[in-house]
Amino acid sequence: NAGVTQTPKFRILKIGQSMTLQCTQDMNHNYMYWYRQDPGMGLKLIYYSVGAGITDKGEVPNGYNVSRSTTEDFPLRLELAAPSQTSVYFCASSQINTEAFFGQGTRLTVV
């Protein structure tokens, strides 16, 4: 059981570039989440999904897009990267109202 796997671990983007953060889980969880964590701050929900084909906005969705074509995968797309998107991104998965398991995080810097 690998749990929740995120790639890449680190990335530097130039302003205006785009990229996709990958997230895969092997626990057959229905719920998947993307959070961002700015330095010294809390976890802000970007988008979440309750199953394949169903996604919804979280607290800070602007500048991001997601898709959920399979139970296992929940990629996060950044279009037109901005310095304000410099952060650590965590993917997580769970069943409803149970423990959420986090990936190891992706440290993104936009310069």
Partner 1 sequence: GENVEQHPSTLSVQEGDSAVIKCTYSDSASNYFPWYKQELGKRPQLIIDIRSNVGEKKDQRIAVTLNKTAKHFSLHITETQPEDSAVYFCAAPLLSGGYNKLIFGAGTRLAVHP
Residues in contact with partner 1 by the rule CB under 8 A: 31, 33, 35, 41-45, 48, 50, 54, 56, 58-59, 90, 92, 94, 96-100, 102-105
DSSP state of 99: P
Instruction: Pull the structure tokens for residue 45.
Output: 């929900």
Q: Closer CB to partner 1, residue 15 or residue 54?
A: 54
Which residues have CB under 8 Å from 91's CB, separation 6+?
Answer: 4, 6, 21, 23, 25, 32, 33, 34, 35, 74, 76, 102, 103
CB 49 → partner 1: shortest distance, Å? 9
CB 4 → partner 1: shortest distance, Å? 9
CB 16 → partner 1: shortest distance, Å? 29
Q: Closer CB to partner 1, residue 17 or residue 43?
A: 43
Q: Closer CB to partner 1, residue 51 or residue 83?
A: 51
Q: Closer CB to partner 1, residue 13 or residue 91?
A: 91
Tell me the DSSP string of 65-87: EE--SSSSB--EEE-S--GGG-E
Closest C-alpha among 111, 50, 45 to residue 83: 111
CB 87 → partner 1: shortest distance, Å? 14
Rounded to whole angstroms, how far apart are CA atoms 4 and 38? Answer: 21
